[in-house]
Structure 1
Amino acid sequence: MAVQRWIILTVLTTALSGLAVPAVPAVADAGPDQPTTSVTIDGARIDQKIPGKVRVDVTYVCGVAAEARSLTVTVEQQDPEDAATKAFGSTRTADTDIQCDGTEQHRQLIVSSKTTNWIPDVDAVLTATVSNLGSAPPASADARRIRLATPTPAATG
């Protein structure tokens, strides 16, 4: 019986040692030459012509890196009259469309709802994430609750 317990203990110890996570060194500060990665949602509004699209304004900064990078924006809005109905959509830019040179960049991304049209004058939850794997920190996110409004047409005259 003691041998059987010893075998079971040896097998468990061996199996669990494979699950051990090696220590990860702390990420060094970005330093004066390398800006930190950051992103901010500046605003959002429903597209004037297509109510299934939201235009989201984002400002981001990321350092120079040869690694992969991306900018992702998601929008989620619950219908106040029907709790089971949610508009949801997300978009991700191609890594070649993200400029990571340490300067502040402004982008407008269009998020299409995959379920239903966006509802004017109702709050939505927006999340923006920029990743720059060669930077410190490697990613940054911003989340906000924003009331989606339909822009008024420009006056002609």
Structure 2
Amino acid sequence: MQRWIILAVVTTALAGLAAPAQADDPVPATTVVSLGDAKIDPKLPGRVRVDVDYLCSVGTEARSLTVSVEQKDPQDSSSIAFGSSRTAEADVVCDGTQQQRQIVVQSKTFNWIPDVDAVLTATVSNIGATPPAAADAKRVTLTTAPAAPAATTS
């Protein structure tokens, strides 16, 4: 009986050594997007620049990055500035590294109002992937970006 137990243990140990090593599970396809600051362009107050960070895994699916901004006028509740910008599929870099972009969103109705809250939304869509999209939304106070220094001549 004792020989049978020893034989079973040795056989099991050898079978474990002979079995091919299993590869680790691949990292699941993940897409993450987050919004940063939003600043009104001082020369063109109908434009706001939105900082967006995103990370998406390498894939062959079509990708899309869309950023939208909505702002209500505190003096007139019927006035809403809004706009959105979609980045071309070829410009959405998905190589598994963190990407940082500044997206310009043009208001389609009114100029952006400085020092007033706005709602920002960013979405990275992965056509054909699971899950199909990742998004972030937040409320920020729009500020005016500092003007670029004037060129000097000597």
- Fold match (TM-score > 0.5): yes
Residue 42 of structure 1: aligned partner: 36
Q: Distance in 2 between matches of 1:141 and 1:43?
A: 16
User: 61, 64, 73: which is aligned to 2:55?
Assistant: 61
Q: Give the counterpart of 1:112 among 106, 109, 114.
A: 106
The alpha-carbon deviation at position 34 of structure 1 amounts to: 4.4
Number of equivalences? 127
Task: Determine if the alignment matches structure 1 residue 148 to structure 2 residue 154.
Answer: no
**Corresponding letter in the other structure for 1:153:** A
Match of 1:95 among 89, 96, 118: 89
Tell me the secondary structure at the aligned position of residue 149 of structure 1. Answer: strand
Q: Deviations over 1:98-145 (max 9, x none)?
A: 001110000000000000000000000000000123544331000000
Matches within 5 A, 1:121-136: 121-136=115-130
> What is the percent sequence identity of the aligned residues?
61
| TM-score normalised by structure 2 residue count | 0.76
CA distance in 1, matches of 2:149, 2:127: 45
Q: How far, CA to CA, are the matches of 1:127 and 1:148 in structure 2?
A: 14
Q: Distance in 2 between matches of 1:134 and 1:101?
A: 17
**127-136 or 63-72: which moved more?**
127-136
Change in 2 beyond 3 A, CA 1:131/1:150:
same
Alignment deviations for residues 12-47 of structure 1 (CA, whole Å, 9 cap, x no partner)? xxxxxxxxxxxxxxxxxxx65345101000110101
Structure 1 unaligned residues grouped into runs of 5+: 1-30
- Residue 51 of structure 1: how far off its partner (Å): 0.1
Paired residues of 1:35 and 1:61 also in contact (CA < 8 A): no
- Greater strand content: 2
State the Cα distance separating 1:155 from its structure 2 match. Answer: 6.2
Q: Over alpha carbons, which structure has the higher Rg?
A: 2
* Residue ranges of structure 2 left out of the alignment (5+ in a row): 1-24
Query: 3-state SS of the aligned residue for 2:90?
Result: helix
Query: Structure 1 residues 154 and 95 mapped into 2: Cα distance closer, same or farther (>3 Å)?
Result: closer
Q: Which moved more, 1:93-102 or 1:136-145?
A: 136-145
What is the aligned-residue RMSD (CA, Å)? 1.8
Instruction: Provide the C-alpha distance between the structure 2 equivalents of 1:122 and 1:59, rounded to a whole number of angstroms.
Output: 23
For the Cα contact (< 8 Å) 1:34–1:135, is it kept in 2?
Answer: no
